[in-house]
Amino acid sequence: MVFLFSRKKSVSNRLKTLIDDLYANSAFRIFFFASLPVLAAIIGFVFTYQKIDTWYAILNKPWFTPPNAVFGPVGSTLYLLMIVSAILVATHKKVNSSDAKQGFIWFTKQLALNTLWSIAFFGLENLFVGLLVILLLIASVLITMQYFYRVSKPAAYLLIPYLVWISFATLLNLGVWLLN
């Protein structure tokens, strides 16, 4: 940690060194990337839960909308699969490869978009922006899967149910937007 106070390195170089050191610590890497889906789930829940029985309840919805009781168990299962997927990559022998690092960058981006969708759709009550965000989310999950596949095929396969669900959620989002 002495390097943080060294005047010979720029701030960006010191931060890069810190990130590289933390990434090299396997326990930290596993904890960090396994914690990200939990954080995304919590933030998404904060923006969603108060709107389910109020704003969302009065919207016109497509005929194929599942009951509200389905969303919690499905979401929990998908976040668990994301955690396991991240752990598989974080513990893989190829974890220091550029594919693993790019995979984690995209994994983080897709979680940010996942959270942003909850904020746009429920928090801001903006169906169109939610639709745009979820389309970007699909693309970022596909890119994440591509990088994860190069490191650990099972890690990529574990994201397939998530991709299917957000594709379905995109149809729901589109349907709600068109009906309202």
What is the mean pLDDT for each group of 10 consecutive residues in the chain (180 residues)? 54 70 80 93 95 96 97 97 96 89 93 98 98 99 98 98 99 99
Give the global pTM: 0.87
What pLDDT, on a 0 to 100 scale, did the predictor assign at position 175?
Answer: 99
d(CA 16, CA 105) in angstroms, rounded, equals: 14
What pLDDT, on a 0 to 100 scale, did the predictor assign at position 116?
Answer: 98
Structural domains of the chain sorted by starting position, each given as residue range(s) with its CATH number in brackets: 10-179 (1.20.1260.100)
d(CA 39, CA 59) in angstroms, rounded, equals: 28
What pLDDT, on a 0 to 100 scale, did the predictor assign at position 3?
Answer: 46
Q: What is the CA angle 59-63-68, rounded to 5?
A: 60
